[in-house]
Amino acid sequence: MLKRRIIPKILIERRVVGGALEFVSITTQRFSSVRIVGDPISQAKLFESQLADELVVLQRDGSQSGISEGFRTLLSRLANESFMPLAVGGGIDSVDKASYLISAGADKVIIGSAALTDPTLLSSIASRFGSQSIVVSLDIVSHGTDEHSVMTGEARSQVAGNLDDILSQCVSQGAGEILLTDVTRDGLGEGLNLSLGAYTTERIGIPVILSGGAGTPLHFGDAFQYASVDAISAGTFFSRRDQTPIEVRAHMMNSGIPTRSIT
Amino acid sequence: MQRLRFFGWGLRLVNALTVGIVDYQAGNVASMRNAFQHLGARALIIKAPSDADSVSHIVLPGVGSFGHCRRQLNDSGLVPFLETWTLVDKRPLLGVCVGLQLLTQSSDESPEETGLGWIPVKTHKLTGSNNEYRVPHVGWNDVAFSPSFEYPHEAKRDYYFDHSFAVTDTPPNTPIAICDYAGGFVAALRRGSIYATQFHPEKSQRSGLDFLKYFLMSS
């Protein structure tokens, strides 16, 4: 049986550390209030030892900073030191940039705002790398259970469109998975947006990853059971709350949710 | 008998082996190289036949669309070399994900291209549904190896999958492993000196590294 996935998210940003510009991992609340966590490589190794099912690595505000050589170097180090699948993004707006990261060790690329502005990007990446290598990341603000807006821009304050329309557009252009992040729940730990998850899994046939708001193992269990999402991604939960994928897995096993056997 | 054979593995030194990983200019070859290096083998990237002089094992790795990888393989001039390697000299070859699919006759993903055809089956698109089987099939799933596969790890284990296409018919006279998803498909197979997996052993943590070690030691 296919197992539901637990995916720690490492959000990174460039900061001056000891006089040099380096990538540090951070967490945010509602896409602002940045707090530094530490070194992304040691964090990834920790998640690997805790048997995370996959890892998401996202560059914050990548559409402004772009894909640098430093980012690629960081990614190759991550790929060298872990044997779990890596989904990487933040600033990918062309097939060449996708290729640049895949050749450094990314298994999947995460496409954010460029999926909304360039209608041919997803299909071009799919024809070279296959749909299974494309995750489209959509940042959402919900207005009730059946109305969800896809957000864009600084602190995700502008509406890019209606979720239903954008979902069908992304799927027809070759998206392989959808990563949903609830902007207003981001980093608060007060629970995932179950109605957003359920709304999306009912509409599309590709895997759905839900994120934004995980605060306890129970939140994971509820989203798997009641929103039928395939995976849950969490940043703040795994970086700041003394919680590991191991505890979430134990809760899932006790609730009868299919989870990877650890042998 | 089976136990004795695997005991014999200890006589072979992994660090005397060199794995050549074919680069289609699409996939993530770095992860495959890291995995073999982690096991103690030498690993190098092959882009042309002349790169493969010293290798003992060859891998067709697994990221990229069927059509793109097939065209890259043709352009590299590696096809006649791989044919001799595999079919004439019967030396060990491992196909992973799209690397498995390239060994078949064709794929629904790129109907304009033919496969190598060394495994007499076709690759089809998995049929999904919103409620039960999502496609692409992404994540960790269990795999049942048939006894004839002679894979020593019988305990139920999970392997990492990420694909929309798969071999859904049983190839003749070929020990296989099955993954029970969307009607079932071939998760791994073994035919002569050819080994192939639909899952990604290089991304499957311990269960995957054990499979790569098995490929190195039993072939």
Q: Where are the alpha helices (DSSP H) in A38-108?
A: 40-49, 62-65, 69-80, 95-102
What is the mean pLDDT of the segment spanning A91-119? 94
β pairing state of B185-191 and B194-197 = antiparallel
pLDDT at residue A211, rounded to an integer: 98
Q: Tell me: the pLDDT tens digits for A125-141?
A: 999 999 999 999 999 99
Predicted pLDDT of residue B43: 96
Q: What mean pLDDT is predicted for residues B24-36?
A: 85
Show the domains of chain A with their CATH numbers: 7-252 (3.20.20.70)
Q: What is the pLDDT of residue B1?
A: 38
**B112, amino acid identity:** E
Containing H/E element for A108? strand A108-111
Measured between beta carbons, the chain B residues lying within 8 angstroms of A228 are 131
ipTM value of the model? 0.94
Q: Of A30-44, B69-83, B142-156, which gets the smallest average pLDDT? A: B142-156
Euclidean distance between CA atoms A19 and B33, whole angstroms: 34
Residues A122/B121/B112/B63 CA torsion (nearest 10 deg): 30
- Nearest Cβ partner of A107 from B157, B203, B207? B203
β-pairing verdict for A5-17 and A55-59: parallel
Looking at the predicted structure, is the pLDDT value of residue B7 above 50?
A: no
What is the residue-wise DSSP string for B122-162? -BEEPP--SSS--SSEEEEEE-EE-GGG--S--S--EEEEE
The minimum CA-CA distance between A259 and chain B, rounded to whole Å, is: 8
Phi first, then psi, for residue B170 (nearest 5°) are: -85, 120
pLDDT tens-digit series, residues B166-215? 999 999 999 999 999 999 999 999 999 999 999 999 999 989 999 999 99
Q: How far does A206 lie from chain B, in Å, by closest CA?
A: 5
> Closest residue of A to B142, CA-based?
A1
Given pLDDT bands bounded at 50, 70 and 90, which one contains residue B4? very low
What is the distance between the alpha carbons of residues A38 and A22, in angstroms, rounded to a whole number? 11
Cβ contact (<8 Å) for A133 and B63? yes
Given this model, what pLDDT does residue A112 score? 95
Q: What is the pLDDT of residue B2?
A: 45
A85 vs B27, B129, B160: nearest CB: B160
- Number of cross-chain residue pairs from A and B with Cβ atoms under 8 Å apart: 135
Gap between the Cα atoms of B119 and B105, Å rounded: 7
Q: State the DSSP string of B104-122.
A: SS-BTT-TTS----SSSS-
Rounded to an integer, the average pLDDT of B41-62 is 94
Contact (CB<8Å) B27/A102: yes
Instruction: Provide the pLDDT confidence category of residue B144 given band limits of 50, 70 and 90.
Output: very high
Contacts of A179 in chain B (CB under 8 A): none
Residue at A205: amino acid letter: G
CB neighbours of residue A154 within 10 Å: 10
What per-residue confidence (pLDDT) applies to B154?
Answer: 67
> Which residues are within 8 A (CB) of A69 and not within 5 positions of it... i.e. 6 or more apart?
none
Q: Does B83 touch chain A (CB under 8 A)?
A: no
Residue B120: predicted pLDDT: 96
Length of chain B: 219
pLDDT, tens digit (0-9, with 9 covering 90-100), for B73-112: 999 999 999 999 999 999 999 999 999 999 999 999 999 9
B28 touching chain A per CB within 8 A: yes
Other residues' Cβ atoms within 10 Å of the Cβ of residue A38: 12
**Hey, which bits of chain B come out as E strands?**
18-22, 42-46, 57-60, 93-96, 124-125, 137-142, 144-145, 158-163, 165-166, 176-179, 185-191, 194-197
> Which one of A45, A48, A107 makes the best mutation probe of the B interface by having the most chain B beta carbons within 10 Å?
A107
Q: Bigger pLDDT: B219 or A238?
A: A238
